[in-house]
Amino acid sequence: MRLVLLGPPGAGKGTQARHLADRLGLQVIATGDIFRRKVAEDTELGRVAKRYLDAGELVPDDVTIGMVVAAIDEGPAGFILDGFPRTIPQAEALERELAERGMAISAALAFVLDDEVAVARIAGRRTCAKCQTPYNVVFNPPRVSGVCDVCGGPLVQRTDEKEETVRRRLAVYRESTAPLLEFYAERGLLREVDASAPESEVTERAVETLKALKDGSPAPA
């Protein structure tokens, strides 16, 4: 199975990607995480990407597409794309590159969330500096404040999670990424999940939706 996750920042895509990957035995390819790793490693690509990340703007398509295609080629056949595609040209490039490899997207799962809820959620977000596991001080706190449950690493607030940058990221989502809902709907691949429910419930609904897809039954209303 090959999935695309869509939804505004704050909808919990990163967290759900990990849950779904565990449940379905898929690999997660998260472009934001890859960019942040390249920035931390101070690679050439990281230096190009940093100013876009800090401003909440999209990294240019040519850089991003090449990076994702490389990750697909290196990994297993089943994957979840988190944070990609984010523009119509990226979605078209993905479709083309997969077709060249005899593959296609199985579904685009869109997490639906109100903008103000998204901003409130992100303000509470913390990420493990070592293994990137995401937390939220209100909705999904670690067992020990400031410490990662998985690896014991320190939890930090990302620079792009300041309110001003979050609002810019939401505006970019509405402008550039929301048109992808239509792109995947036209192909019969779009499935929507309400992301305002508690985390575990969102996962269950997403799994149900994907099972229905496998069984060939119609999407739940």
Whether 86 is a known active-site residue: answer: yes
**Least separation, in Å, of the C-beta of 54 and ligand AMP?**
8
Task: Supply the minimum distance, in Å, between the C-beta of residue 59 and ligand AMP.
Answer: 4
Which C-beta is closer to ligand AMP: that of 53 or that of 193? Answer: 53
Question: Quick check: is 143 catalytic?
Answer: no
Q: Which is nearer to ligand AMP, 38 or 205 (CB)?
A: 38
Q: How many CB atoms lie within 10 A of CB 63?
A: 13
Residue with tokens 């090959």: 2
Active site residue 23: no
96 belongs to the catalytic site? no
**Tokens 């690509």 found at:** 45
State the residues that interact with ligand AMP by CB under 6 A. Answer: 9, 31-32, 35, 52-53, 56-59, 64, 83-84, 86, 90, 160, 169
H-run or E-run covering 30: strand 27-30
To the query of whether residue 158 is one of the catalytic residues in this protein, the response is yes
Given 50, 169, 191, 205, the catalytic residue: 169
Integer-rounded Cα Rg, in Å, for the chain is 17
Question: What is 59-128 written as a DSSP string?
Answer: PPHHHHHHHHHHHHHHS-S-EEEES---SHHHHHHHHHHHHHTT----EEEEEE--HHHHHHHHHTEEEE
The nearest distance, CB 55 to ligand AMP, in angstroms, is 8
**Which residues have a catalytic role annotated?**
13, 86, 125, 158, 169
